[in-house]
Structure 1
Amino acid sequence: MRRTEMDRAMITRRHFFQGLIGASTFAFIGSLLSACGSNQEPTRTTVPSTPAFTPATGTSPSPTAVPSPTSAATPTAVPTISRTRKLKMRVALATEEAGNFIAVEKGFFKDVGLDVELVTTQGTPGEVIPLVAVGQLDLFSGAIQAALVNARTQGVEVTIVAGEGALRRGNVFHAYAVTKQLYDQGVRSVSDLRGRTLAMPSDAGIDLLELKKVLESGSLTLDDVKLQLIRLPDMPTALQNGAVEAAELVEPYATIATKQLDAAVPIVAGDAIVDIVGDNFPISVIVVGPPMLKDPALLEAFLVGYLRGARYYLQALKDPAVRAEVVAILKNRTPLKDDKLYEQMTWPGVSADGTFDIAKLEEAQQLWKQRGKIQQTVPVDQLVDFRFVTNAAKQI
C-alpha cells in the first residue's frame, strides 16, 4: 500500500493507530485496511507525467474576494453551531471539488461556524476510509470506489452524504479518445476498439460502469479491450508515445491530450456520453464516518457551506466575472495553473442540490461483484443518505 502524506508524518501506521485507539482496535483497522484496499490498486503502468500540468512550486497568493452574487448570499437560517468547529476534509485536488475550495476561500464555511481544513493526500479511498472511520479525518471527497462497499460489509458506517462531480448534459468532462495515429488509420468508433489497449485510472470505480456502457454502444464488452491502469496525469503522454492505444480521459487531461499535445482524437465525448450513460451520472462524492453522522447539526452546517460553494461554481459557468474569480480560486487550490486550459477545457458538471441518480450505484455494485472487486453488494440506502444535504439545501 502506498504511503499518504499523512502516513509519512508518522513512523508507521501501526504506531499511529496504536497511539490513537489502542492495540485491540488497531487489529480491526488493520483488517479494514486490507478489506478496503482489496483489489483496488492493481499494477499500474507509469509513464512520464505531462509537463503541461505540473504543480507549481511555492504557495499561490489567495485571490481577492469580490461580493457574492445574490443567489449565493448568506442563508437566512442555518444549523446552529454553538462554537467554531474545526473539521479536516481530505480532497483529491480535482476541479469537480470546486465547491469545497470556494466555500473555504469565500468564507461560506465560516459563515456557519466552521473552520474547514482541506487536507491533500495521494491516498486511495481504501487508505482514507479507516481514517474517517476513527475520526482522524472528518470527511473525504473523491471518486466512487468499490472500497466503500467493502468497508460497509466490514461494518464500518462510511456513508455518502452528497454528490459532487457528475456527467451532466452540457458539462461532460470525460472523453474517450484514440491516438492520432490510429485515428488516421481509420479507428474512429467504439466498435473499432476491439482488441485495443485502453487506459483507465482504476478498474474498481464507478467509471468502470461508464466504460462498460460506452463499449456496449459499440457492441463490445469489457473483455473485448485490454485495460491498462494509468494515472490520469500520465495519460496524455501515454497516448503520445504509443504506450496505450486509447484512453478514458478526464479534464483537464482530455484537453491536454487532444488540443495541447495533439496526441489523441475523441471518438466519444460531450453529450454523446450522457446519451449513453444517462444524465447526472455520479463520479465524485462526499463521504463521512460515524462521528459526523452522529452530529446532524454539524454535518448540515458543513453541507450548507458546501452547497453555497457548489452553486457559486455553477454561476461561474455563466457569468464571466464569477468565472474569473473561481479560476483564481482553483489556481490557488489545485495543481491546474494554466489559464489557457481553463479556457479550452470542459468544466465539470456539479450537482446544485448535492444529489444524483443512486440507481447507478446498484449497477456499479453488480459489475464490481462480477469482476471480483467486492464479495457482496450492499443496499444503496446503507451507502447513501441524502437527508442531511436535502435539509441543507432548504436553508440556502
Structure 2
Amino acid sequence: MIKLNRRKAIALMGGAAAASSLAAPAIASNRKIKVGALRFTSHSGSFVAVERGYFADAGLDVELQFFQAAQPMAVAIASGDVDYAVTAISGGLISLAQKGAIKVIGGALTEEKGIDGQQILVSDAAFKAGITTPAKLDGKSYGITQTGSSFHYVGSQIAAQEGISLTYKPLQKVGAVIGALKSGQIDAWNIVPHIAKPLSKSGAVHIIGAVSDYLPNYQTTTVFTSAKNAADEREMTESFLAGFSKGVDDYTAAMIDKTGGEDGVNQMVDLIHKYVYTDRPREKAAPSIINGTMRLNKNAALNLASVEHQLNWFKSEGLVDSSIGIDDLVDTSYVEIIS
C-alpha cells in the first residue's frame, strides 16, 4: 500500500488523461476526516449524514470538500487530502488503484427502471438540425469532462449500441460542458436529471433519450477511499459507511418511498438546498432538487458486474493498463455485492 502526495498521484494517472448489512461502528473519539463530494443531489447521502449527525454518531467529525469533476477527487484520495469520496469511476481512479493507492469499497448512485435517471441532451442547434434521437448523433461532438471520464464511458456505450461514431470534447468541468452545450459549441452530453431537466425547460437544450436505455442498472457512482484506509483503518471505514448509509436511508425514504409525505420531501429539499443550487432561492431550487431524485444503493451495496463492465471498457480503449484486475480496483469485503 502506498500513500502519495498530490504531485505523485497526478503523475501516476499517466495515460489515463461482504456482508449484507454494515457492521455497527465502534464509537470513535470524534475522529476528523474529509469527505469528497460534488454539489449534486446524488451526493445527498453524505449531506444528510452530516446534517443529521449520523457521521457524528459513528464517531466521525466530517468536513465536506467539494470538487467539480471525478478525477481530481481520485487524486485527492490518493494524496491523502481526502479520506472518503463518492464519484464515478474514471480512468484516473483506475490507474491509481493499480498503483495501490485507491480502493472502491461500495456503491452509491445507480440507474433504476421507473426512476428518471441520467438524460441524453443535445443543443438547440443540433435539435433543429434533426438530431432528435441518439441514433442520429453519428459524427457529432459529445461533451466530456476528461478523456476517461464517466461521460466518455457513457457516450461510448451509446455510440456502440447505435452503431455510430462520436467526437469527444474534453472540457474539464461540468459548468464548462453546460456552457458549450447551451451555446452550440458541442452537440450532445449526458447528465443527471436535476441538471438535465431544467436545462431542457430553458429551451437551450433538448432531451433525446435516457442513459438507462443503454445501461440498465449502471453503477453510476461508487464509494471509494485510499488503499491504506481500506486495509489498515477498518473501524474508521466501517464507521464512515454506516453513517453514509443512514443518510442514504433517510434520502430514499423521503424522496423515493415518500414515507413522510409532502412534509418529508420538503424537509429533505431544505436540507439538500444547503449544498445544491445554493445560489438560487429555495423556491427556484426545489424543482431541480426533486427532479434529481435517483436511487442510492442501500447499505452502499455495489453492482460489481457494472463496475467490471466499466473496467473492461477502459482497458479495451487503452485508457488504463490492460493488466489491472477487478481485485486491484475493488475491496469486496465491506458491503453486499449485487449484480
TM range, smaller chain: 0.7 to 0.9
Aligned pairs for 1:125-274 (under 5 A) are 125=71, 127-129=72-74, 131-133=76-78, 135-156=80-101, 158-220=102-164, 224-230=165-171, 231-259=173-201, 261-269=202-210, 273-274=211-212
How much has 1:38 moved relative to structure 2? 3.8
Distance 1:376 1:79, change over 3 A: same
Aligned length: 322
**2:11 alignment counterpart:** 34
Higher Cα radius of gyration:
1
Provide TM-score, normalisation by structure 1. 0.73
Q: Is the partner of 1:227 in helix, strand or coil?
A: strand
**2:271 alignment counterpart:** 329
Superposition RMSD on alpha carbons, in Å?
2.8
**1:366 alignment counterpart:** 312
For 2:36, which of 86, 90, 98 is the aligned residue? 90
Partner letter of residue 207 of structure 2? P
Provide TM-score, normalisation by structure 2. 0.84
**1:5 alignment counterpart:** none
Q: Is the partner of 1:323 in helix, strand or coil?
A: helix
CA displacement, residues 106-162 of structure 1 (integer Å, 9 cap, x when unaligned): 01111222211112244753x444543454432122221111221132232x11112
Distance 1:177 1:283, change over 3 A: same
Q: Is the partner of 1:183 in helix, strand or coil?
A: helix
* 2:328 is aligned with 1:382: yes
**1:295 alignment counterpart:** 233
How much has 1:371 moved relative to structure 2? 2.8
Quote the Cα distance in structure 2 between the aligned partners of 1:76 and 1:96: 21
Range with bigger deviation, 289-298 or 191-200: 289-298
- The 8 Å contact of residues 69 and 174 in structure 2, kept in 1 or not, is answered as no
Distance 1:131 1:180, change over 3 A: closer
Quote the Cα distance in structure 2 between the aligned partners of 1:365 and 1:373: 10
Range with bigger deviation, 130-139 or 318-327: 130-139
Aligned pairs for 1:37-56 (under 5 A) are 38-40=15-17
**1:284 alignment counterpart:** 221
- The 8 Å contact of residues 179 and 246 in structure 1, kept in 2 or not, is answered as yes
How much has 1:84 moved relative to structure 2? 2.1
Quote the Cα distance in structure 2 between the aligned partners of 1:172 and 1:378: 33
Distance 1:268 1:122, change over 3 A: closer
**1:107 alignment counterpart:** 53
CA displacement, residues 201-221 of structure 1 (integer Å, 9 cap, x when unaligned): 33312343322222233222x
How much has 1:258 moved relative to structure 2? 0.5
How much has 1:184 moved relative to structure 2? 3.5
Quote the Cα distance in structure 1 between the aligned partners of 2:22 and 2:131: 56
How much has 1:30 moved relative to structure 2? 4.1
- The 8 Å contact of residues 69 and 145 in structure 2, kept in 1 or not, is answered as no
Q: Which runs of 5+ in 2 are unaligned?
A: none
- The 8 Å contact of residues 152 and 168 in structure 2, kept in 1 or not, is answered as no
Quote the Cα distance in structure 2 between the aligned partners of 1:76 and 1:241: 46
Q: Is the partner of 1:176 in helix, strand or coil?
A: strand
Q: Which runs of 5+ in 1 are unaligned?
A: 1-24, 41-74, 392-396
Partner letter of residue 306 of structure 1? F
How much has 1:262 moved relative to structure 2? 0.6
How much has 1:303 moved relative to structure 2? 1.0
Distance 1:290 1:119, change over 3 A: same
How much has 1:351 moved relative to structure 2? 1.0
Partner letter of residue 111 of structure 2? L
